[in-house]
Amino acid sequence: MIEFECVRFKNFGSFGGNFSEIKLNSNKTTLVTGTNGHGKSFALLDSLCFGLFGKPFRPINIPQLVNTVNGKNCVVEIEFTRSNSKYLVRRGLSPKMFEIHKDGEMIDQHAKSKDYQDYFEEHILGFNYAAFKQVVILGKSNFIPFMQLTPADRRKIIEGLLDLDILGDMNTHVRSQLVKLKSDISENESFLKIANEKIRSLTELKEQIDSNKNIELKEKEKELEELEKLHELQTSSLNKITEKFHQLQNTDKKAITSRMVPLNGVPVMHSKALEMEKSLIEEIQALENDPKCTCCGQVLPEEVRQKHLKEKREKLFACRKSLTVANKKLKELEVCKADLEEVEKQILEAQIQQAQAVTAKNSTNREIIALKQKIEKIRSSPSESGVDGKIEEATKQKDSHAKNLQKAINDQIHYDVVYDMLKDGGLKSRIIKHYVPIINGLVNKYLGKLNLYVDFTIDEEFKETIKSRYRDTFSYSSFSEGEKQRIDLAILLTWREIAKMKNSLNCNLLIFDEILDSSLDSAGTESFLKLLNKMKSKCSIYIISHKADSLTDKFDQQLQFEKKNNFSRIKSQV
């Protein structure tokens, strides 16, 4: 419950630069009197509404709230307690100011004053401007009785009293979430479609690349097969040439050389032997000084050179020995020499063929190795242009969008359920349906206490039905002004009871503005005052009235307002 303690103000309306203060909980019933224009409504109604909500009770432009004489430093302060915490609300104009203090410390302000006001109403007051005017204040100025509101506006009042505003806020939030989810679903469906199309295109490209790769691989494998066959032929040919070379070198040449040995005694071959001797000496010297072959001019390996040196030296020895028998073996020697020359010629040819065969075989072997490497590279290489990586990335995107889509769909299902619950026909309807009989019962109770014996019923669409004792049906407009006043009072008091039940607007303050000066007859006034006496133990009641003479003795306190030198002041508190 909120316990309003006092309201003070300066440079507010017609009040001057010194603070004027009204104690709000010092007495249970207070009569507020004064001549029109002397500041009664400013002091109580407008100051409370401006201090709490930033706008006056009556239709006054906010700049007009500043005292026109002083023109600045308009301040309204309201002190109240709630849940054992003491609050001070300070609001001002020229300069503009809005502060909330809790237990002596100012609550940090939000970036926007609207956020600060929303925080104040939702987390501290627990009610808004419209509810305050319907439940705490009943007056002629800027007050539209509940029965004169449209069903939609009636719904807003009752929803505020029943703390159903939060359901409306939730409904608004759910609607916004559903709009967002619909957008998310559409967006993810589009993304998913794009991802699927991308995967399809990339897969087709990969298949085409793989097909080209397989064709290239088969061509290379066929080429390799042909090269390997060629290599086998070259190997076979080289083996034959090598075998022939060894035959000439190791068998045929040695056989001829061995035949020439006995021919050393031939006289005719003596000179030949001498020439051979000379030739062998020159060859030996040449081989010793120059590693080139004397026959082909090629550089001989050391082993071959040494071998040739040895052979030449042996020939030289044999030649010198054969000089003694050269004459006898002249003809045989000439034949052997001719045979030897032929064999050496064949050996040279075999060496050339062998070198050519080795070169060809090595070249083919290098081609085979290079081709095998190329084939292995083709087999192990990833798809061209990183297609596999792009497919993998597109698949991850697809899975992510599919997951987001499913989540959005699931959330939409849940929010649809919540939205159905939060619609007017859902939870609100059930709660209102529960309270409608309570509201009707309270209204009829207070109508009876105000001596208006009718059966008042409001339905779940907030449309009223009023029946007399004889079950005749009336509308609100059918009643006299005094009877309407009783209905308005009964509804106001009902709202206070409902607010206490819900603890949404439970406070110690009840203000009536010129209610007793309007259409209530003496019986209605008497009934109303009796009702107030029963209620004063629960709240502080303020009656603004011009009937000071006839009502003074019926109240615990009287506040009198007067205007002097264009400034209003509280003349007395008795």
The per-residue pLDDT for 506 is 76
The per-residue pLDDT for 59 is 84
**Which one has a higher pLDDT value, 569 or 262?**
569
Residue 267 has pLDDT above 60, yes or no: no
* Predicted confidence band of residue 434 (pLDDT cuts 50, 70, 90): confident
The per-residue pLDDT for 141 is 47
> Once rounded to an integer, what is the mean pLDDT over residues 461-474?
79
pLDDT digits (tens, 9 = 90+) for 497-540: 787 676 556 788 988 887 766 656 677 777 778 877 877 777 89
> Once rounded to an integer, what is the mean pLDDT over residues 458-481?
80
* Predicted confidence band of residue 461 (pLDDT cuts 50, 70, 90): confident
* Predicted confidence band of residue 338 (pLDDT cuts 50, 70, 90): confident
Share of the chain above pLDDT 90, in %: 25
168 phi and psi, to 5 degrees?
-65, -40
Residue 406 has pLDDT above 80, yes or no: yes
| Cβ atoms of 562 and 38 closer than 8 Å | yes
The per-residue pLDDT for 99 is 94
| Cβ atoms of 312 and 287 closer than 8 Å | yes
99 token code pair: 């502060």
Maximum mean pLDDT: which of 134-138, 285-289, 499-503:
285-289
Across the chain, what does the average pLDDT equal? 83
> Once rounded to an integer, what is the mean pLDDT over residues 5-34?
92
The per-residue pLDDT for 452 is 85
Helix 330-380 crosses helix 165-247 at what angle (to 10 degrees)? 170
Residue 265 has pLDDT above 60, yes or no: no
The per-residue pLDDT for 240 is 92
How far, in Å, CA of 125 to CA of 418, rounded? 28
Q: Give the SS3 label for residue 22.
A: strand
**Which one has a higher pLDDT value, 116 or 157?**
116
Residue 384 has pLDDT above 70, yes or no: no
153 phi and psi, to 5 degrees?
-70, -35
The per-residue pLDDT for 142 is 46
pTM beyond cutoff 0.85: no
Residue 394 has pLDDT above 50, yes or no: yes
Residue 91 has pLDDT above 80, yes or no: yes
The per-residue pLDDT for 428 is 77
Pairing of strands 540-544, 29-34: parallel
Strand partners, 364: none
516 token code pair: 């007793």
> Once rounded to an integer, what is the mean pLDDT over residues 540-545?
89
Residue 10 has pLDDT above 80, yes or no: yes
Q: Give the SS3 label for residue 307.
A: helix
> Once rounded to an integer, what is the mean pLDDT over residues 425-451?
86
Range scoring the smallest mean pLDDT among 207-221, 337-351, 542-556:
542-556
Residue 383 has pLDDT above 60, yes or no: no
**Which one has a higher pLDDT value, 134 or 536?**
536
The per-residue pLDDT for 518 is 61
Residue 229 has pLDDT above 90, yes or no: yes
